[in-house]
Amino acid sequence: MKKIKLLSLLILALLVVSACGTKDNQNQAEKELPEFVEVKLTVTPEHGQANEPIIFEAKVTQGEENVEDADEVKFEIWRAKDENHEKVKIEHAEDGIYRLEKSFAQEGTYYIISHVTARDMHNMPKKEFVIGTASETEDPNESKDSMEGMDMEGH
């Protein structure tokens, strides 16, 4: 009987110790997770004119820190409904800002995606901007919107 009590106490002690260890490991893992790399993409002005410069900036941060050592920053730019996408590699300007100044000859609606790879993370925000008169947009909800009001039978 003494052996059973002793064995039970030993098992209970092992369970308590292993449970504490698991919680400590979880807390340690949570502390070791780095903050996400944030990218704030801006287009100035958002409505420009043909052949006038537009400034694109990607402000890259991690927590309160400016990321000045991104592995790669590329801006992908295209006119709506166009299959040709221009990709431009961007270097760090200052204070975590990666900047491109560019002019466009053709009016219409355009898009930019900043592809930012930094500190083993990837972030790619997208913005729409217009040069002169807007053209038809690339609305990913277009087919969904055209189906609103239909019942399950498609009527």
Structure token pair of residue 73? 């920053």
pTM of the prediction? Answer: 0.70
Q: What is the pLDDT of residues 55-92, one digit of tens each?
A: 999 999 999 999 999 999 999 999 999 999 999 999 99
Question: What's the fold here for domain 37-138?
Answer: Immunoglobulin-like (2.60.40)
- List, in sequence order, every beta strand (DSSP E) within 12-107: 37-44, 47-48, 54-62, 65-66, 72-79, 86-89, 92-94, 97-102
Structure token pair of residue 116? 């930012």
CA atoms of 35 and 118, how far apart (whole Å): 12
